[in-house]
Amino acid sequence: MVEEGEPAPDFTVPLAGGDAYNDLEQFTLSDALGDGPIVLAFFPAAFTGGCTEEMCTFRDSMADFEALDAQVYGISVDLPFAQNVWMQEHDLQFPMLSDWDHEVIHQYDVVLEEMYGSIEAAERSVFVLDAEGTVAYRWVRDDENPEFETFIDDVRDVVVDVVDETV
């Protein structure tokens, strides 16, 4: 289990940019470190109500995260092609990471084993990493979904604290 204060496990996965169905490139976490905090927002599945609401709330708060030089990435086990279509449908202007082989959800210990009683997906969770890749914040849903506007404001406040610690 990845805990606060520990180094975030490194990984390489496809990144969906959202500009077209085939807008894909490789993403390696360690290559993204150093420019500011990173928010990894794990969600169970694109095209579902709660996940769409959460990612749209992040979308609506992106100016706040960008002002802090924070990078936000959604991450799910969806194929990147599906993520691109979903991003276009909802005007999601931040990249999605495709953990299609389920390795990252196991590394971060955020496996939702029986989504709809049959498939393994990501448990709704958020990790905030500092510029060096240390986990500064870890949240994993243990009950119902939070009120997303309040929750994402709380995540932004954590990012502010991470930025303040590095100044």
Q: Six-digit token pair at 46? A: 């694109």
Residue from 153, 103, 163 nearest 126 by CA: 153
- Classify residue 40 by its DSSP letter: E
Is residue 56 annotated as part of the catalytic site, yes or no?
A: no
* H or E stretch covering 118: none
125: which residues sit within 8 A by CB, 6+ positions away?
41, 42, 108, 110, 138, 139, 140, 141
Catalytic residue among 16, 45, 51, 112: 51
How many alpha carbons fall within 13 Å on the CB side of residue 30? 5
86: which residues sit within 8 A by CB, 6+ positions away?
46, 47, 52, 78, 92, 96
The catalytic site residues sit at: 51
